[in-house]
Amino acid sequence: MNRSTITRTAAALAVLLCAAPVLAQTGGPVRAPDAAAMATMSNKGDTAWMLVSSALVLMMSVPGLALFYGGLVRTKNMLSVLMQVFMIVSVASLVWVTYGYSLAFTSGNSFIGGLSKAFLSGVSGSTYAATFSNNVYIPEYAFICFQMTFACITPALIVGAFAERVKFTPLMLFVVAWLTLVYFPVAHMVWYWAGPDFLPDTPTDTGLLYGWGALDFAGGTVVHITAGIAGLVGCVIIGKRRGYKAEPMPPHSLTMTMIGASLLWVGWFGFNAGSNLEANGVTAVAFINTFVATAAAAVAWAVIEQMVHGKPSLLGAVSGAVAGLVAITPASGFGAPMTSILLGFAASALCFWFVTTVKNRLGYDDTLDVFGIHCVGGILGAIGTAIVADPALGGQGWFDYTKFPAVPGAYDMATQLVTQTKAVLVTLALSGGVSAVLFFLLNATLGLRPSADVEAEGLDLNEHGERAYNY
C-alpha cells in the first residue's frame, strides 16, 4: 500500500468515525450533518449533472437568447442586441460572486439574505449545498455556478422589450441596480431555506414566499415574471420606436431566431431539470414535462395562426415554444406529462392573445414581446402550478421539510391557488415598482434613449462603432 492510498484510507476512516456517533444515535439519516458528514453525502453523478446543467443554462443566454433576439431586430441593431446580452451575462456573473449569491442564499431575514458570503467568503471545494433530499449534497461551487446562470439570463430577458432604442451604459447600470434591488430579494424570498436536514430545527429560516408555501420549481416568478414586468415598465417609460406602426419593422433573420429558439429549448432542460439539484426521478419528471409542454405550445400556436391567419409561421412556432417553456418552468418538477401538455396549450392561447390583441389595443411597443410571453406565460405557469401539482391529477405534490426525514404534505388545490396568486402579486409589485423608479432615475440623469438621428442610423455604429454585417 502506497502513501497516497494510506492517506486516503485514513481520511475516509476519520469521516466515518465523525459520522458514526450521529448514525448510532438516529439509526437512520443524519440530522444537521457537519461538513465532514456532508462530504460522504455528495454524489459524483449529481455534481456532474449540475455542472452540465449550468453550462446548458449559460448556453441559453449566450448564444441562445442573443441569437433569438438578434434575429428579430433590424440589421442596423443586430450587433447592439448581441452586445447587450453578452455584457449583461458578464456583468451579472461578477455581481453574483461579489455579493449576489450571499444576498440570495444566506440567512438574513425573510426578504433578503446577509453578506456573510460576500466575495464567496467561506466557500471552498470542501463546502456543500443542500438539495431537496435528506442527506444529499452537492459542492457549493456547483450550486453557485448553477444559480449564477439564472442571475445572468434574467436581466438579459428584459432588453427585448425595448430593443433598438436604449443606450448601452445606462442599461448596464440598470442591470446592476435591478439585480440588487429586485432579483436577489425575489430569489431569496422564493428559493432560500435552511435545507431538508436543518429546517426542522430552524423552521422560520426561509424566504418570505417559501414560508408561505409558494411553489416555483425553476423560476416562473423569480425569472420570468420579474423580467417580464420590468420589460413592460421599461418599454412604456422609454417610449415607442420611431416609426412604430408607420413603417415596416420585420425581423431581419428568422433563420437566426429559429437557431436561437432551438438553443433555448435544449438549454432549458438544464434550466428546469437542473433545478432539482440532483439526478433522480424528479429530475426525469422535470425533463419530460419541459419536453412535451414546449412541443404542445409550439403546435398550439401554429394551429391558432392557421385558424386566424390562414397559415402558420415560423415566428409563431418559436414564439409558442418559448411561451410553453416559460409556463412549464415553475411547474416542471411538480406536474405530470399530460397536464403539462395542457399547460403548454393554454400558454400559447393566452400569450397569442396578449401579443396580437392586447398589445395593439393598449398601444405599448414591447419590441420582442417580453411581457406578452415571459410575464403572461410566467403568471399562467405560476398559478397553473397549483393545479398540475395536485397528486389527484398525477402531480408530485409538496414535501413537508419541517419533518425529519421529510414527508409528503397534505395537498389542497384551492389553498395553493391562493398562495400562488399572492406570490405572483408580490413579485409584480416589487419588480414593477422598483423597475419604474430605476428607469425614471436613469432617464432623468443619463438618459435612456439615443437621439432621433442615432436611432434612425442604428445602434450598432453609434453605440459600438461596428456593424453586425459588412456587405
pTM of the predicted model, to two decimals?
0.93
| Average pLDDT of every residue of the chain | 94
Residue 120 falls within a domain, yes or no?
yes
Nearest to 381 by CA among 146, 219, 149: 219
- Contact, 433 vs 423, CB < 8 A? no
- Does 7 have pLDDT greater than 80? no
Encode pLDDT of 207-236 as tens digits.
999 999 999 999 999 999 999 999 999 999
Domain region containing 430 = 35-464
Pick from 1-15, 30-44, 85-99, 319-333: least confident: 1-15
Residue 7 falls within a domain, yes or no?
no
CA dihedral 30, 36, 40, 41 (to 10 degrees): 50
Residue 14 falls within a domain, yes or no?
no
Which region holds residue 239: left if phi is over 0, alpha if psi is between -120 and 50, else beta?
Answer: left
Compute the 3-state secondary structure of the chain and give helix, strand, coil in percent, each to the nearest 5: 70, 5, 30
Residue 347: how many other CB atoms lie within 10 Å: 31
Instruction: Calculate mean pLDDT across residues 336-343.
Output: 98
Encode pLDDT of 122-172 as tens digits.
999 999 999 999 999 999 999 999 999 999 999 999 999 999 999 999 999
Residue 1 falls within a domain, yes or no?
no
- Contact, 118 vs 98, CB < 8 A? yes
Instruction: Calculate mean pLDDT across residues 440-465.
Output: 97
Q: What kind and span of H or E run contains 138?
A: strand 137-139
Cell of 200: 426542522
- What are φ and ψ of residue 298, in 5° steps? -65, -45
Residue 5 falls within a domain, yes or no?
no
Residue 26 falls within a domain, yes or no?
no
Residue 29 falls within a domain, yes or no?
no
What is the reported pLDDT for 60?
A: 98
Amino acid symbol at 177: A
SS3 category, 8: helix
- Does 379 have pLDDT greater than 80? yes
Residue 43 falls within a domain, yes or no?
yes
Encode pLDDT of 403-444 as tens digits.
999 999 999 999 999 999 999 999 999 999 999 999 999 999
The enclosing domain of 412 has a CATH number of: 1.10.3430.10
- Contact, 33 vs 250, CB < 8 A? no
Rounded Cα–Cα distance for residues 398 and 409 (Å): 6
Rounded Cα–Cα distance for residues 144 and 96 (Å): 9
Nearest to 154 by CA among 221, 210, 106: 221
What is the reported pLDDT for 27?
A: 52
- Contact, 340 vs 328, CB < 8 A? yes
What is the reported pLDDT for 471?
A: 80
- Contact, 46 vs 270, CB < 8 A? no
Encode pLDDT of 52-67 as tens digits.
999 999 999 999 999 9
Nearest to 439 by CA among 242, 178, 196, 107: 178
What is the reported pLDDT for 9?
A: 39
% of the chain exceeding 90 in pLDDT: 94
* Total number of domains in the chain: 1
71 secondary structure, DSSP code? H
Residue 109: how many other CB atoms lie within 10 Å: 10
